[in-house]
Amino acid sequence: RQAIDNGTGTSQYSGKVPLTTRKTGGTYQLTDTQRGSHSTYDLKGSTSGRGTLFTDADDVWGDGTPSNRQTAAVDAAFGAATTWDFYKSTFGRNGIKNDGKAPYSRVHYGNNYVNAFWDDQAFAITYGDGQGNKKPLTSLDVAGHEFSHGVTSATAGLKYSGESGGLNEATSDIFGTGVEFGAKNAADPGDYLIGEEIDIRGDGTPLRYQDKPSRDGKSADYWTPDIGKLDVHYSSGVANHFFYLLAEGSGKKVINGVSYDSPTKDGSTVTGIGRDKALRIWYKALTTYFTSTTDYRAARQGTLKAAADLYGANGTEVKAVAAAWTGVDVKS
């Protein structure tokens, strides 16, 4: 029997965090024995292979700076554990395939690589170190985003192009945000911004905004007949905006010190039902009604059914789902 040890790490984005590790002989491995044996590997700049499992002599990991190569591993391991716990506690889901098996994570991919990605074949999450190798893309919302690509692949299988591709991307943003709020981490409190910690643009602004996706200069706020021609990271805006409206409602709001102002296409007012219900409706739709070819119109229908299943056909939740889709111009 492997011993379960509670390590501690100093992350770059989430402060000091607990880590579950595995003790073998005199060393600790960065393998989470409590959550499907998720392991974190060091690619050391390589762009192929699995890398080298992180190990440590005293079970105290990283120092919060990117020059300590354990630091990105602390964020990645904490992100995977937090996402694992989010799916378990919010939806009763036991890992990506609901079979208790964890993916693995790789950090320090390439040189100055400003991206992170999910690989379905490898069943792995991979993180670059960002510009100047100073901003690893290992923040909580990004970890939740990439992990969620695995969940989408294992469930609806939304095809990664056209409208279904936008829904696939938005699903990852929606649950990434769910993970971040759920963590209640003082260093990285929840918000409806994606990638606000990793400074991917080098000017301090987030990668994406869910209250009004066009704040990034590229993403769509509302459905149009040509929406499927956009890159999936921009056509996702319609569903991100739907999710914000459903959770928080239209208009101005300040949450955890961040200001939002969410418009609707037709000027209608949407009253939010709260993030928890909005997350449950999206998850139920994803895992029950969405398929590889679901488009925006079908997403409206699927989420309406999910809301009816969860909260009753005549509830305020179903009405709010309809109002939020209408607000982003996805009509019945």
Catalytic residue positions, numbered: 146, 233
Asked if residue 172 binds Zn ion (CB under 5 A), the reply is yes
**Whole-number CA gyration radius for the chain:** 19
- Taking the C-alpha atoms of residue 296 and residue 282, their distance in angstroms, rounded to an integer, is 13
Nearest distance from C-beta of residue 120 to Zn ion, angstroms: 12
Binding region for Zn ion (CB under 5 A) out of 23-31, 67-75, 166-174, 256-264: 166-174
When asked if residue 75 is in the footprint of Ca ion (CB under 5 A), the reply is no
Choice between 200 and 330, CB closer to ligand ASN: 200
Residue number, nearest CB to ligand ASN: 117
- The interface region with Ca ion, picked from 12-20, 70-78, 187-195, 290-298 by CB under 5 A, is 187-195
Q: Give the C-alpha separation, 254 to 264, whole Å.
A: 18
Q: Which of 56, 75, 129, 141 lies at the binding interface for Ca ion (CB under 5 A)? A: 141
| CB-nearer residue toward Ca ion: 41 or 87 | 87
Instruction: Specify the pairing of strand 124-128 against strand 193-194.
Output: unpaired
Contact 24, 85 (CB under 8 A): no
Q: How far is the CB of 116 from ligand ASN (least distance, A)?
A: 5
Applying CB under 5 A, the span of 131-139, 164-172, 185-193, 223-231 interacting with Zn ion comes to 164-172
Least distance to ligand ASN, CB of residue 332, Å: 30
Site string for Ca ion, 33-72 (x = CB under 5 A): ----------------------------------------
Judged by CB under 5 A, the residue of 193, 273, 307, 320 near Ca ion is 193
Q: Which residues of 32-63 are buried (b: 16+ CB within 10 A; e: fewer)?
A: bbebbebbbbbbeeeeeeebeebbbeebebbe
DSSP 16: E
Residue 104 half-sphere exposure, CB side, CA atoms within 13 Å?
18
Query: Quick one: which of 306, 1, 12, 3 has its CA closest to 187?
Result: 12
Residue 260: phi and psi, rounded to 5, are: -130, 155
Residues at the site binding Zn ion, with contacts judged by CB under 5 A: 172
Residues at the site binding Ca ion, with contacts judged by CB under 5 A: 141, 180, 191, 193
